[in-house]
Amino acid sequence: MHAAFSFTARSSNLAGVTNGDEEDEDCGGSDCLSCAGTSCDVFSDCASNVCSGGLCQAPTCDDREQNGDELGLDCGGLTCGACPGDACSTALDCESQVCSAAKLCLTATCFDGATNGDETGNDCGGPDCAGCATGAPCLAADDCTSLSCSSDLCLSATCDDNIYNGDEDGTDCGGDECGLCPGSDCTQGDECSSQLCPSNICSTPTCFDHQQNQLEEGIDCNGPCDASCPGDACTEGDECESGVCDSDECVADTCEDGVTNGDETGESASAALVHAAAPFVHTCVWPLTRLLSQTWTAVAPPSAADATLAPRAL
């Protein structure tokens, strides 16, 4: 006589089945990885092997992972196209979107006339294919021939994108479109990307060259420069390119602001006048409006014995 016995079947994480204490097909519970919508730190926390924005993502046919009921990387199963080598009737049957004359799905390549694999455009973009042309979809700069991707589209190369691209000889200089690079021979400033041609050699742009270059938003201000442009907020003059902060706003340089700025070689005329007159200001009797209306000739600083300032007729 045989002894009677009983047993309890243990659940398994077989693909496509919700069993045991799983929360969904093959995910959640005490044994399986997290389901879509569950918080995650790394991709390996998730049953789909895809963690984005701190949440596990549901499997898709273009997530570059073999997950869900797929039989290969983003292919096969009930949802995705057929895998390479599988039978097909049309290109739409295949994950690669390529069905051969022998009615077999082919592996994606960079010259099959379809947007497949890791490509962002038709036979371009991604880690394996050449960059895409202007206007093609992109996810990163390397997806584009111009190395410039914005709002998921490849942009044209320009002379002010701060990228060495197009036919440039350096970053934003040289080639057929941009100004000459620093160190190139020149005859005048507008031939150079820096707009500066001292000693017939294009110079490197700086934040003190009195030119708007190197992605500056104004002459020697903002962009790569520390100084703020006219109109920007400020608390003191040192924050402004002009050196003048008025009513908490940087103002443009003038010839009457009391600061050596712009392309001036010395202090503004009104400031020089005040400084020169300070030792004997009690001898001045002209109204201030008349003083400021004159054009003054630069002279050597006056001595205590000479308190005369003579205006020159306009």
Does residue 209 belong to any structural domain of this protein? no
Q: How many domains does the chain fold into?
A: 2
Domain hosting residue 23, numbered range: 1-58
Does residue 289 belong to any structural domain of this protein? yes
Does residue 35 belong to any structural domain of this protein? yes
Task: Convert the pLDDT of each residue in 232-283 to its tens digit.
Answer: 999 999 999 999 999 999 999 899 888 888 888 776 554 444 444 444 333 3
In this prediction, residue 13 carries a pLDDT of 45
Encode the chain in three state secondary structure: CCCCCCCCCCCCCCCCCCCCCCCECCECCCCCCECCCCECCCHHHECCCCEECCEECCCCCCCCCCCCCCCECCECCCCCCECCCCECCCHHHECCCCECCCCEECCCCCCCCCCCCCCCECCECCCCCCCECCCCECCCHHHECCCCEECCEECCCCCCCCCCCCCCCECCECCCCCCECCCCECCCHHHECCCCCHHHECCCCCCCCCCCCCCCCECCECCCCCCECCCCECCCHHHECCCCEECCEECCCCCCCCCCCCCCCCCCHHHHHHHHHHHHHHHCCCCHHHHHHCECCCCCCCCCCCCCCCCECC
Does residue 157 belong to any structural domain of this protein? no
In this prediction, residue 300 carries a pLDDT of 54
Of the residues 32, 58, 84, which one is the last residue of a structural domain? 58
Does residue 281 belong to any structural domain of this protein? yes
Does residue 8 belong to any structural domain of this protein? yes
Does residue 238 belong to any structural domain of this protein? no
Does residue 313 belong to any structural domain of this protein? yes
Of the residues 58, 78, 101, which one is the last residue of a structural domain? 58
In this prediction, residue 314 carries a pLDDT of 45
Of residues 91 and 267, more confidently modeled:
91
Q: Please tell me the pTM assigned to this model.
A: 0.59
Task: Convert the pLDDT of each residue in 11-40 to its tens digit.
Answer: 444 455 666 666 677 777 677 788 888 889
In this prediction, residue 44 carries a pLDDT of 87
